[in-house]
Amino acid sequence: MAIIEVEGISKTSPAEVLERARAAGIKVVDLRFVDLPGTWQHFSVPLSGFEEDFFTEGIGFDGSSIRGFQAINESDMLLIPDPDSATVDPVLQVPTLYLVCNVVDPLTRQSYTRDARHIAQKAEAYLRSTGIADVSYWGPEAEFYIFNSIRFDQNAHSGYYFIDSDEGIWNSGGNTTANLANRPRFKEGYFPVPPTDKLQDLRSEIMLKLIEAGVDVEVHHHEVGTAGQAEIDMRFASLTKMADNLMAYKYVIKNVCHQHGYVATFMPKPLFQDNGSGMHCHQSLWKDGTNLFFDEDGYALLSDAARWYIGGLLKHAPALLALCAPTTNSYRRLVPGYEAPINLVYSQRNRSACVRIPVYSTSPKSKRVEFRSPDASCNPYLAFAAMLMAGLDGIKNRIEPPKPVDKDLYELEGEEKERIQSVPGSLGEVLKALEADHEFLLKGDVFTSDVIGTWIEYKWTREVEPVALRPHPWEFYLYHDA
């Protein structure tokens, strides 16, 4: 029942949604929206009590209990369901239709400025207003791990985490039951067939459930890491639609894994000494059905507009990462040696560059840029909108990126190595970068100063400072005998 959204114009009437829901035997309508950090929130009503005018009048909820939203003295908020998002939930047992909603202030009836989905929609409207392009297409590759168990705790006198996976190479010596071996070694999990790849059927089931949810899937496979690292690639879509798809993607993956006794995590770096999980974001701009990023005479078949777009991404990368790699754990991933894209350059084929130009095809339709530093811990509505705004700033100001580098960037030495700048190494650094460099995000009122300030304060007080206060297990190895 998921229907592709076209530039914010509703293709489905509320009456059609309710008619199809009744025909499909739906019992429950689930209303979903995203909090500021990027997690789906929801509540449900019986189909019998769901009125058509909810699509225009909205349904109330307490905004003070949602992360990054309202103060308690201004808590009343409204959800406005998007009829084009109507989807039969593929993982719940009770027949349920979910609707993705926008958030509205009940007094002014204006869209809520901290509603990330609204920010994504404003970014798409701003793109059209510039005349540069009429649509941007997005194809994020969100990696994740599938574990058998994640245990963790932190208190005044202890702190630990313990991950386990039947597929983890560390279980090769286990002798509590018959050990059937066949596990990918560290950093050798890319593309082995079963039985080394123990999760083929599980990923296939996830893929089919995603398709049921209206998310087009192109391919799934085991990723590089041992212990169940995976990737399921979605077909590209426009910005807000792809952010909706990514929320559904994470929801379906987590629920199918849970139903089979596994736990899926999009944490960027759960395992020490193995690859982290990124979200390489393929993106392109189109106008009147033509890909603006293609030029048969350009480096890697890139147009001037594509090169300037890259210039904007690289110039604003430190600030962008506050929204695109927004956790303290993100910077455990963005380190040398694990295929991590930490170098502020672009290159065809080179996976150690922040921006890579895929060269699988010479078709004009396939030309795109791939920003590799983000990860799926982000709020996709904010991350995609921010990347688009940085790229547009690059085009409008004709920002030239550093010359492309096609060598292995980790093997550079001397002066050649010194010229290559790297991404910042901590969440604190990128938050400071965002504080200093966010004017490009305010264009067209896409982001607001309130959203930027709230994001920085939330991340500092809820994540940076609490992590800094707690002793790290490795500190006991280093200092217990001081």
Known catalytic residues are 62, 141, 143, 223, 231, 280, 351, 370, 372
Closest CA to 319 of 279, 380, 395, 373: 373
Residue 337's SS3 state is coil
Contact of 246 with 142, CB cutoff 8 Å: yes
Residue 93's SS3 state is coil
DSSP letter string, 417-431: HHT--B--SSHHHHH
Q: How far apart are CA 16 and CA 2, in angstroms?
A: 12
Burial of 249 (0-12, 13-18, 19+ CB in 10 A): buried
Q: How far apart are CA 374 and CA 383, in angstroms?
A: 8
Cis peptide bond N-terminal to 195, omega within 30:
yes
Q: Which parts of 26-162 fold into alpha helices (H)?
A: 54-57, 116-130
Contact of 30 with 251, CB cutoff 8 Å: no
Q: How far apart are CA 356 and CA 350, in angstroms?
A: 6
The HSE-up count of residue 338 (CA atoms within 13 Å, CB side) is 21
Distances (CA, A) of 258 to 94, 142, 220, 233, 399: 17, 19, 19, 20, 46
Q: How far apart are CA 132 and CA 305, in angstroms?
A: 9
| Strand-pair category, 343-348 with 353-357 | parallel
Q: What are phi and psi of 157, to 5 degrees?
A: -120, 0
Contact of 309 with 298, CB cutoff 8 Å: no
Q: Whats the size of the chain, residue-wise? A: 482
Contact of 369 with 303, CB cutoff 8 Å: no
Closest CA to 4 of 114, 90, 111, 85: 85
Cβ-proximal residues to 91 (8 Å cutoff; 6+ apart), any chain: 209, 251, 252, 255, 256, 259
Cβ-proximal residues to 73 (8 Å cutoff; 6+ apart), any chain: none
Closest CA to 315 of 412, 406, 421: 421
Tokens representing 434 are 């965002």
Say how far residue 140 (Cα) sits from the centre of its chain: 7
